[in-house]
Amino acid sequence: MSGTLYGLGLGPGDPELLTLKAYRILQSAPVIAWPAPDTGPSFARTIAASHLPGGQVEIPIVMPMRTERFPARDVYDRVSVEIAAHLDAGRDVAVLCEGDPFFYGSFMYLFERLAPRYRTEVVPGVSSMMAAASAAGRPLAARNDGLSVLPGPLCDDELTNRINLADAVAIIKIGRHFKRLRALIEKMNLLAQAVYVERVTLGAERLMPLADVPEDTAPYFSMILIYKGGEDWVHSLPGSKA
């Protein structure tokens, strides 16, 4: 009998924000796979580290960070073959995923290659978006608010139209788009209603009004929350310079 492929949501970073289910599977899976950039450690592997019993087979999914998209396809093809061999031999394989596997997660690339052939289970996790709202101390959306989740690489026109129609906004995948995004939000007169959150739930967490961020770039694990009508509150955030 073939093994089961798990897409394991590990939550936003704090190892205590793993689910009991993810914990159980981490403790028992004989094989784990985890994404890592070719420039540094795996964030997913770091979240899981204290929960691993030791002795598992580990499959790094190393992504080239400085090249075009196509090599990523080769990496997923190659890793899928490696994972399939373990599944064929009856061994369960848990793929470690930051946050939630199906909320902008890279697990989808392994899922589309392997789920048609193997029993697959996706274990949802706490998203960094929810954790960011908890850290900010303000509901992200309530009552009949419409919430828009928007990736930073979208162009200014697309972002403007969608932000205009939403009551609350979470902008993800900021990175090198940070400067442009902040300028756009300022142009839309929403700067005073925007919160910047970086590395949420980790020791290095930073949270402050977007207007007060001194840098012109942001790391991958960061997010902008726009609370329309929330000026008064954003100015009173602990990280505020106001």
**Contacting residue, 30, 60, 64, 124, with its own copies by CB under 8 A:** 124
Residue with smaller CB distance to its own copies, 62 or 141: 141
Q: Should residue 139 be labelled a site residue for its own copies when binding is judged by CB under 8 A? A: yes
Q: What are phi and psi of 178, to 5 degrees?
A: -55, -50
How far apart (Å, rounded) are the C-alpha atoms in residues 153 and 150? 9
How far apart (Å, rounded) are the C-alpha atoms in residues 238 and 242? 10
How far apart (Å, rounded) are the C-alpha atoms in residues 170 and 209? 14
Q: How big is the site for its own copies, counted in residues (CB under 8 A)? A: 57
CB of 214 to its own copies, least distance (A): 27
Residue with smaller CB distance to its own copies, 67 or 85: 67
**Contacting residue, 2, 4, 46, 134, with its own copies by CB under 8 A:** 134
Q: Should residue 123 be labelled a site residue for its own copies when binding is judged by CB under 8 A? A: yes
Q: Should residue 26 be labelled a site residue for its own copies when binding is judged by CB under 8 A? A: no
The answer to whether the Cα torsion of 81, 87, 88, 91 is positive or negative is positive
Task: Write the DSSP symbol of residue 1.
Answer: -
For residue 150, what are the β-bridge partners? 171
Question: Residue 121 CA to chain centroid, in angstroms?
Answer: 19
Interface contacts to its own copies, rule CB under 8 A: 7, 9, 11-12, 14-21, 23-24, 100-105, 108, 111, 115, 120, 122-127, 130-131, 133-134, 137-151, 153-154, 158, 161-162, 165-166, 173
